[in-house]
Chain A
Amino acid sequence: MSFLELLINGLRLGSIYAIIALGYTMVYGIAKMLNFAHGDIIMVGAYIAFCGIQNWGIPPVPSIMLAMLVCTVLGVAIEGLAYRPLRQATSLAVLITAIGMSYLLQNTALMIWGANTKSFPTTFINNSSISVGELTIPSATLITIAVNIVIMVSLTLFTSKTKTGKAMRCVSEDRGAAELMGINVNRTISLTFAIGSALAAIAGVLMCSTIPSLAPTTGSMPGIKAFTAAVVGGIGSIPGAMLGGILLGVVEIFGNYYISTDLGDAIVFAVLIIVLLVKPAGLLGKPMREKV
Chain B
Amino acid sequence: MTKAKRKRLIYNLITFALVIGAYFIIQNMIAEKTISRLLKGLLVPICAWIVMAVSLNLVIGFSGELSLGHAGFMCIGAYTGTIVSGWLLAAYDMQDTTLRLVLAIVSGGIVAGVFGALIGIPVLRLRGDYLAIVTLAFGEIIRNLVKWLYVGTKDGELCFSFLNKDMPKGVKMLVDGAQGTKEKIISTFPAGVILVLVTLLIVLNLVNSRAGRAIQATRDNRIAAESMGISVTKYKMMAFVTAAVLAGMAGALFGLNSTTVEPKQFSFNQSINVLVFVVLGGLGNVLGSVISAVFLTVLPEVLREFSDYRMLAYAVVLILVMIFTNNPLIRSFVDRLISPVRALFHRKKDTMPGGDLQ
Contact = CB atoms under 8 A, between A and B. Distances in A.
B59 to A, nearest CB: 12
A28 B126 CA distance: 17
A82 B129 CA distance: 20
A89 B276 contact: no
Contact of B312 (A34, A107, A224, A235): A107
A92 B66 contact: yes
B322 A266 contact: no
B218 to A, nearest CB: 14
A61 interface: no
A92 B133 CA distance: 13
A281 to B, nearest CB: 8
Contacts of A272: 133-134, 137
A235 B145 CA distance: 27
Main secondary structure of the interface of A (DSSP, over half): helix
B136 A224 contact: yes
A85 B326 CA distance: 8
A231 B319 contact: no
A89 B327 contact: yes
Interface stretch (A11-19, A63-71, A94-102): A94-102
A92 B318 CA distance: 13
A276 B141 contact: no
Interface stretch (A41-49, A179-187, A257-265): A257-265
A111 B308 contact: yes
Interface string B9-50: 000000000000000000000000000000000000000000
A292 B308 CA distance: 51
Interface residues of A, number: 45
Contacts of A270: 137, 141
B15 to A, nearest CB: 23
A266 B163 CA distance: 13
B263 to A, nearest CB: 11
Given A101-B315, A231-B130, A266-B141, A273 B122 contact: yes
Contacts of B279: 92-93, 96
A224 B268 contact: yes
Contacts of B138: 269, 273
Interface string B271-309: 010011001000100000000000000000000000010
- Among A88, A110, A262, A276: residue with most chain B CB under 10 A: A276
A224 B327 CA distance: 28
Interface string B104-128: 0000000000000000001101101
B189 to A, nearest CB: 30
Contacts of A99: 272, 275-276, 318
A94 B179 CA distance: 36
Nearest to B312: A107
Contact of A228 (B137, B147, B318): B137
B122 A34 contact: no
10 smallest beta-carbon distances between A and B, as pairs? A100-B318, A269-B137, A103-B315, A89-B326, A104-B315, A266-B144, A100-B319, A93-B326, A107-B312, A85-B327
10 contacts: A93-B325, A94-B322, A95-B132, A100-B315, A110-B311, A227-B133, A272-B134, A273-B122, A273-B134, A280-B125
Given A89-B326, A93-B326, 11 more contacts: A86-B322, A92-B283, A93-B322, A96-B318, A96-B322, A99-B318, A104-B312, A263-B144, A265-B140, A266-B141, A276-B126
